[in-house]
A and B are shown apart, each in its own frame.
Chain A
Amino acid sequence: MLQFITQPWPWYVAGPLIGLTVPALLFLGNKSFGISSSMRHVCAACFPSNIPYFTYDWKKEIWNLVFVSGILLGGILAFTLLNNHEDIVVAESLKTELSGYGINDYSSLVPVDIFNWDQIFTLKGFLMMVFGGFIVGFGTRYAGGCTSGHSIMGLSSLQWPSLVATCCFMLGGILTANFLLPFILSL
């Protein structure tokens, strides 16, 4: 049993568990599943700066900040207690391509050849960690949600604007991964 838990979980275990988050949050307190809005609440709590978008009673949304704190804690627990310390297994075609960019370390969930503190002030590292993060924050708020709010919660409640958003997430991602990212990685 423990061996099963410490191995990477297959999609048909993980997907349904994530899907169950939708009814769990609704049942526990009428909460619509969504994560990116937590960053809006952080802005509202820390730097509202009289911007209408951030001047609301963020304390009513504190559950969302508690929820994302839980995700952080869950990350720590999974990493410390449920880890099998093996390299992540990826598609051979991806491995071949990435080795061309000097990415050979599969010991972490992120490629530590790029995502490490020494790389932040290199052009590649800055584009990937700082600029990338910035448009994740900007884009999700502009779209009114992220993968959880639109793709899981929105699609689960059959909302067509969420289907539009999800298709745009995928389109932007597919174009970037195949055409823009190879350029960034070769910098």
Chain B
Amino acid sequence: MSNQNNISDEFVVDMSDDVQIREQDRMNVNESQLEHKWYHNLKYLLVGIAFGIVFIKAEIISWFRIQEMFRFQSFHMYGVIGSAVVIGALSVWLIRKFNIKTIYNEEIIIHPKTFNKGQVIGGLLFGVGWAITGACPGPLFALIGSGATVIIVTLISAIAGTWVYGYFRERLPH
């Protein structure tokens, strides 16, 4: 959204400003229209805990496993990501096929992602960081839990990187 927008464009943006901004990267927009008490969020804590345990126990978050993956020395990570995508795709297909609703009886919506150059440039940059730190964002959290406390520095640095991206966003090619 540049400053050169004409008035009618800005009006459209203002109509749904919050959703527009949150959807800028088409990621993780909260689709539910329902308002819930805070404790409804606890179910996500449980999913997170299960997820964190799998991360540690399958050593997906290990710097060594990531090096093996990028050097084609082990099938482990390819097996993990590949089978996760197969099960995920099968689940999404079933949800669409049988029109499965959420536990609050809402229709499940998955927004399409739109292509932009960021997926290439940002993707390559993240790949560099992934190989160096041996961690994507999820593992950073699990690693800190697993006692590698120095990863707190890496996480703070990643948050700083996020902020700097937000600051320069309008000036970067997309």
With A94-B68, A136-B130, A172-B127 as known contacts, state yes or no: A74 contacts B137, CB within 8 Å.
no
Number of residues from B at the complex interface, CB < 8 A:
133
In Å, the complex CA distance between A161 and B119 comes to 7
Inter-chain contact A66/B73, CB cutoff 8 Å: no
> Which residues in A have their C-beta under 8 angstroms from that of B54?
9, 14, 17-18, 74
> Which residues in B have their C-beta under 8 angstroms from that of A157?
89, 92, 110
Number of A-B contacts (CB under 8 A): 541
Contact with A along B14-48 (1 / 0, CB 8 A): 00001001101111111110001000111111111
Inter-chain contact B145/A67, CB cutoff 8 Å: no
> Which residues in A have their C-beta under 8 angstroms from that of B66?
173, 177
Provide the main secondary structure of the chain A interface: helix
With A63-B30, A115-B150, A133-B158 as known contacts, state yes or no: A55 contacts B81, CB within 8 Å.
no
Q: Which of B73, B122, B123, B159 has the most CB of A within 10 A?
A: B123
With A18-B54, A75-B144, A78-B52 as known contacts, state yes or no: A30 contacts B32, CB within 8 Å.
yes
Contact with B along A14-49 (1 / 0, CB 8 A): 111111111111111111101111111011000101
> Is A70 in the interface zone, CB < 8 Å from B?
yes
> Is B8 in the interface zone, CB < 8 Å from A?
no
Identify which of B31, B51, B122, B135 contacts A31 (C-beta below 8 A). Answer: B31
Question: Which A57-102 residues sit within 8 Å CB-CB of chain B?
Answer: 57, 60-64, 66-79, 82, 88, 90-91, 93-94, 98
Inter-chain contact A11/B79, CB cutoff 8 Å: yes
Inter-chain contact A127/B132, CB cutoff 8 Å: yes
Inter-chain contact B62/A88, CB cutoff 8 Å: yes
Inter-chain contact B31/A30, CB cutoff 8 Å: yes
The 5 listed contacts between A and B (C-beta, < 8 Å) are A23-B88, A38-B137, A40-B162, A66-B44, A151-B85
